[in-house]
Structure 1
Amino acid sequence: MALATAATPAETSIVIAIGSNRPHGRHGRPAGVVRAAVKALGEAGFPAAAVSPILGTRAVGPGGRDYANAVMTSSTVLTPPEIVVALKAVERGFGRRGGRRWGARVLDLDLIAWGAGVWPGRLLWRQSRGVAAPHRSMHLRDFVLAPMLTVVPDWRHPVIGLTVRQMHARLRNG
């Protein structure tokens, strides 16, 4: 099933994961940061076609604080590297600075899916160190799959071959 967006033929449907585990001076608690990020992403050229409910999740790694997580769908003509540059600019607009990989953050945005496309290509997807679409670890992260179930449950991972529903069931059943 295609991602549920109103994409034109020249655009590709995308899924963006949104997370926060630090309050923001203007947007408040992490759930407020996630809501504000959806609006900021629209202003940055990624209007939301669908937005999942915001879920509270435990931190992975030494990040400490629990997260507010959601996903949204949109569409774009940009390539994954261009999308990631735009996402990083939105993060910086919320005060995110470089730091520890697993540290607390006011806003974390990740490109999760790029339609049925694979970036940088099916043969290089697992080995490349740079930008990858679909996100290399999405199938291992409940905080990504659970919100995706609410907006694109039938999206099929172009490398693994499973739907979001199937990946989530496998993750939950261990």
Structure 2
Amino acid sequence: MSNFSSKAVIALGANLNLRSFGPKVTLQRALDAILRQGVVIRAVSRFFETPCFPAGAGPDYVNAAALIETGKTPGEVLKFLHEVEHEFGRERVQRWGMRTLDLDLVCYEDRVLPDREEYDRWLKLAPEDQKRQAPEQLILPHPRLQDRAFVLVPMADVAPDWRHPVLGRTVTEMVAGLPTEDVEVVTPL
């Protein structure tokens, strides 16, 4: 672990009760668990309610974003996020299914991982292939970030000026570029 500190954004989401607690409590507890991993949480967004995706697949989600500062590498951050998910009963079986807790490393400074060529491949992947394929390694920034109001709207609370290293747009600009109806359904709790 280096002494050099980097900023990263984590997207949090949940839509199932865990041990009789609702998703909002789960996200609050997940933030506590992230703190125990030795990272500094610089800011946490408001909590938002978002309709389940795909529509009708289950209860609404509670989404949030956290700006962290850490000396850990992106891979180490991803590893501890998976550990925290596991601690909260998450099993990575179905992509885009219902879940007790979903933690995604959305961006890490302005790094493009694993490299620009592989990032571009995931960026351009057709929607039907996105459903069938999961990357073997960490792709940063998250290749679907610019399409997801449920990530960008909370992220705008904590890192509005972060600029996408490939697309060249800030979070604020990416939110403005989304369909109005996508943004409007992400409502503060």
Please say whether Structure 1 and Structure 2 have the same fold, judged by a TM-score greater than 0.5.
yes
Counterpart in 2 of 1:160?
167
2:73 and 2:118 map into 1 onto residues whose CA distance is 16
Counterpart in 2 of 1:118?
112
Name the amino acid aligned to 1:146: V
Give the secondary structure class of the aligned counterpart of 1:48.
strand
Q: 4+ residue stretches of structure 1 with deviation over 3 A?
A: none
1:50 and 1:138 map into 2 onto residues whose CA distance is 19
Alpha-carbon distance, 1:173 to partner:
4.8
Give the secondary structure class of the aligned counterpart of 1:165.
helix
Alpha-carbon distance, 1:64 to partner:
1.6
1:49 and 1:154 map into 2 onto residues whose CA distance is 15
Alpha-carbon distance, 1:45 to partner:
2.2
1:77 and 1:112 map into 2 onto residues whose CA distance is 17
Counterpart in 2 of 1:5?
none
| Counterpart pick for 1:146 among 123, 129, 153 | 153
Counterpart in 1 of 2:103?
109
Gaps of 5+ in 1: 1-7
Percent identity reads: 37
Q: Does 1:48 align with 2:41?
A: yes
Counterpart in 1 of 2:141?
134
2:93 and 2:3 map into 1 onto residues whose CA distance is 39
Gaps of 5+ in 2: 123-134, 182-189
Counterpart in 2 of 1:29?
22
1:79 and 1:126 map into 2 onto residues whose CA distance is 22
Give the secondary structure class of the aligned counterpart of 2:67.
strand
Counterpart in 2 of 1:98?
92
Alpha-carbon distance, 1:9 to partner:
7.1
Name the amino acid aligned to 1:82: E
1:40 and 1:109 map into 2 onto residues whose CA distance is 12
Alpha-carbon distance, 1:126 to partner:
2.5
1:98 and 1:149 map into 2 onto residues whose CA distance is 27
Tell me how large the CA RMSD over aligned residues is: 1.8
Counterpart in 1 of 2:127?
none
Q: Is the 8 A contact 2:40 2:70 kept in 1?
A: no
Q: Is the 8 A contact 1:44 1:90 kept in 2?
A: no
Alpha-carbon distance, 1:127 to partner:
2.5
